[in-house]
Amino acid sequence: MSNIQKNSRRVRIFLQFLFVIIPVSVIYYWFTVDTAYDFISSSGIFELSLDMNNLTQQPLSTSTRLFAGAASLLVSAITLYGLTVLIHLFRNYEKSEIFSQDNARCYQKLGYCLFYWVFGSMIYGGLLSVILSFNNPPGERIFMLGFAGMDLLTIILGFIVVIISWVMKEGHKIADENSRTI
């Protein structure tokens, strides 16, 4: 087995591990945040971009935790979709399918996934601000939408990945045409 195949297998296994760990971590986080069992945020493994203390004045209720967990799982679905595409891509690399039409489609899906990520994170920030501040008294509820410099960088990276996928598709077409000519 070549180095590409061995390393692709290792990366694929790691990505499959992440595919399982991410939703479990999200659920665990929202059930244990601000409790004695909260080792994820107390150790700095995972932190929200929103400061919960600025959004809510009361301890998180069970319904707030459930809604926040559901919202977090929805935005995590974008990450899981990206992981699914990457797992498929590295499975192709394991089979020594490097420059294929299928891999070009994978790169295109990954580029679009970056766009989905930015859009989803904007909606998630607004949704989470409403969920966390919903138990505040009227007039102190918060709705926040945000767009950071990192989001712009992610959009630019998405465009670059989509362009690379187009180049790979065209390269595959040219290679296919050349293989059929005598």
- The tally of domains found in the chain comes to 1
Assessment of whether the complete model's pTM goes beyond 0.85: no
- Total length of the chain: 182
* pLDDT for the residue 103: 92
Q: Taking 80 as the threshold, does the pLDDT of residue 56 lie above it?
A: no
Structure-token match 């766009």, residue found:
115
- Output the pLDDT for position 126: 87
Distance CA 77, CA 74 (A): 5
Contact 99, 168 (CB under 8 A): yes
pLDDT of residue 44: 67
What's the mean pLDDT in 130-152?
77
Output 64 or 119, whichever has higher pLDDT: 119
Predicted confidence band of residue 147 (pLDDT cuts 50, 70, 90): confident
Q: Highest mean pLDDT: which of 19-28, 123-132, 144-153?
A: 19-28
Tens digits of residue pLDDT in 81-138 = 999 999 999 999 999 888 889 999 999 999 999 999 999 999 998 898 888 877 766 7
DSSP classification of residue 60: P
Q: What is the largest CA-CA distance in the chain?
A: 77
Q: Which domain holds residue 82?
A: 3-180
